[in-house]
Structure 1
Amino acid sequence: MKNILFYKKKAKAWEEALPVGNGRIGALVFGNLKTERIALNEDSLWSGYPKDLNKKDAGKYL
């Protein structure tokens, strides 16, 4: 079985684009056949607020 997404027209705004990613790095695919537009985002570019990602007890899991 094939998983296929099919759209009849390209996305004109970011709200219409197809989101892909894994939570850390992502993209919006707009789907233009002649000139593809892909908007990339990575979580360190915009975190929304300052946060410390270092886990104090991480050493015991190594």
Structure 2
Amino acid sequence: MTKLLREMKEPYTAHGFRSAFRDWVSEETEHPGEVAEAALSHVVKGKTDAAYRRRNLLEKRRLLMNE
């Protein structure tokens, strides 16, 4: 995406889109934050949290993307 934005000579960044998506999820939907983080492929911080969060939340991510 970054390459495409550069080729289009747009002043935007891929991070900006990711940030806007995260803001939209938290402000405009009822989807849990962990689903938004999974949709963005963010890594769970901390070994303990990662050990307990082994789900990929695929169906919940699918519902989020449909919205």
Tell me whether the two structures share a fold, i.e. TM-score over 0.5.
Answer: no
More helix by share: 2
More strand by share: 1
Structure number with greater CO (CA < 8 Å, separation at least 6) is 2
**Highest CA radius of gyration, 1 or 2?**
1
